[in-house]
Amino acid sequence: MVTLKQLAKELNVSISTVSKALNNSEEIGEETVRRVKELANLYNYRPNKVALSLKNNKTKTIGVIIPNILNRFLAKVLFGIEREASKHGYNIITCISNESLAKEKESLQFLANGSVDGFILSVSQESQMNNEVDHFKNTIKQGLPIVMFDRVAHDVMCDKVIVDDFDATYNATKSLIEEGRKKIVFISNINDISVGKLRERGYNKAILETGKLEALVLKIKKKDDTAKKIKSFYKKNKNIEGVIAADSSSGIIALNTAVNLGLKVPKDISVIAFASKSDSNHTIPRLTTIRQHAKVIGTHAAELLINRMQNTGVEKDMKTKIIKTSLIKNNSTL
């Protein structure tokens, strides 16, 4: 592997000159920069990242831990993180916790051992269920900043990026009430995580405020057959007129099940779900969605972390950035 020293010797310049030329320093003339880069390309020179990180005490790498790689929302957040990190010259290393507390701890310990300068993560389901946060606090004590997004641990002092989960379901439920819907059900398969609970509270508040409507909640567990559970619920609870779904799969299945049972959507029943544009494009009729703007969440998370990493030693208050959701009306509502 060719080194800076070898390039400098062949060009008859100092190692410092070669380094500055490769980094486009204004101190070096255009002709010298051109000669250095041509020779570097000829020998396929690549900077030694390990040596650079030891010299600068920086890896220029961000560790990202997400609970589920198959979740389209999380994949889009990851896209936003990578795009923003790349703009600032950072690489990312991604680990998947698979909703496991043990894997989450393992990923933090593995990457905190000199591999990354900070973390962006969404808390695993098991961590939230057990209210386990010490592994996050210990990582921050090591001098590695953390930014949490979507599912966050409120007991951990760090920057956070969330959406207005409570307001989103509150406003969506109000919109169905304004349509004249009387029997509105809240369906969720994310009952054990913070965002699922916030969304249910928003629904409950809107129902309670009417003073006459009854809250109907269908909680679906991992082991359940979602389609069977929703179909059974529809049959037991006649004349359901509205659905608020806390997640995309529950919303899509609720819509399809209603159609399969002979209900006309949206004449007989309206359906709203937290889902993406691509989700709505694959339903008939097109699903009315609550959009979370996943890529924007990723961008803000990366911005917060990079700002924190570039200002180490500077006392700054922790920030919580709230991304406003959008209710996109399509053909599954009036």
List, run by run, the mean pLDDT of 10-residue segments along the chain (334 residues): 89 93 90 94 79 67 96 96 95 97 97 94 97 97 96 96 98 98 98 96 98 98 96 97 97 98 98 96 97 98 96 84 98 98
Closest CA to 217 of 255, 189, 182: 189
Query: Total structural domains in the chain?
Result: 3
| Domain hosting residue 285, numbered range | 165-292
**Is 330 a member of any domain?**
no
Residue 99, domain member (yes or no): yes
In a domain, 273, yes or no: yes
Place of tokens 């969440």: 297
Verify that 84 and 9 share a domain, yes or no: no
- Residue whose C-alpha is closest to residue 137's, from 146, 149, 128: 146
Both 169 and 288 in one domain: the answer is yes
d(CA 148, CA 154): 10
| Closest to 81 (Cα-Cα) out of 296, 238, 253 | 296
Contact 259, 271 (CB under 8 A): no
Residue 288 sits in the same domain as residue 298: no
Contact 272, 243 (CB under 8 A): yes
Tokens standing for residue 62:
């961000």
Looking at the fold, whether 176 and 227 belong to one and the same domain comes out as yes
Number of Cβ within a 10 Å radius of residue 23: 10
* Residue 123 within a domain: yes
One domain for residues 152 and 173: no
CB 300 within 8 A of CB 321: yes
Q: What is the DSSP letter of 80?
A: H
Task: Based on the fold, state whether residues 98 and 148 are members of the same structural domain.
Answer: yes
Q: What is the DSSP letter of 325?
A: P
Question: Quick one: pLDDT at residue 50?
Answer: 55
Are 225 and 150 found together in one domain?
A: no
Q: Say if residue 176 is in the same domain as residue 275.
A: yes
Q: 233 with 287, same domain?
A: yes
Q: How confident is the model at residue 312, as a pLDDT?
A: 75
Spatial separation of the C-alpha atoms in residues 127 and 119, rounded to whole Å: 17
Classify residue 247: in a domain, yes or no.
yes
Both 78 and 173 in a single domain? Answer: no
Same domain, 237 and 258: yes
What CATH number has the domain bearing residue 70? 3.40.50.2300
Q: Note whether 161 and 304 are within 8 A (CB).
A: yes
Dist CA 325 CA 290 (whole Å): 6
pTM (two decimals): 0.85
Specify if 136 maps to a domain: yes
Q: Is residue 328 part of a domain?
A: no
What are 229's strand-pairing partners? none
Helix (H) or strand (E) holding 120: strand 118-121
Q: Per the structure block, which two tokens stand in for 283?
A: 């339903």
244 and 271 inside one domain: yes
Pairwise CA distance, residues 162 & 222, whole Å: 24
For the beta carbon of residue 74, count every other beta carbon within 10 angstroms: 22
Buried b (16+ CB within 10 A) or exposed e, 219-257: bbeeeeebeebbbebbeeeeebbbbbbbbbbbbbbbbbb
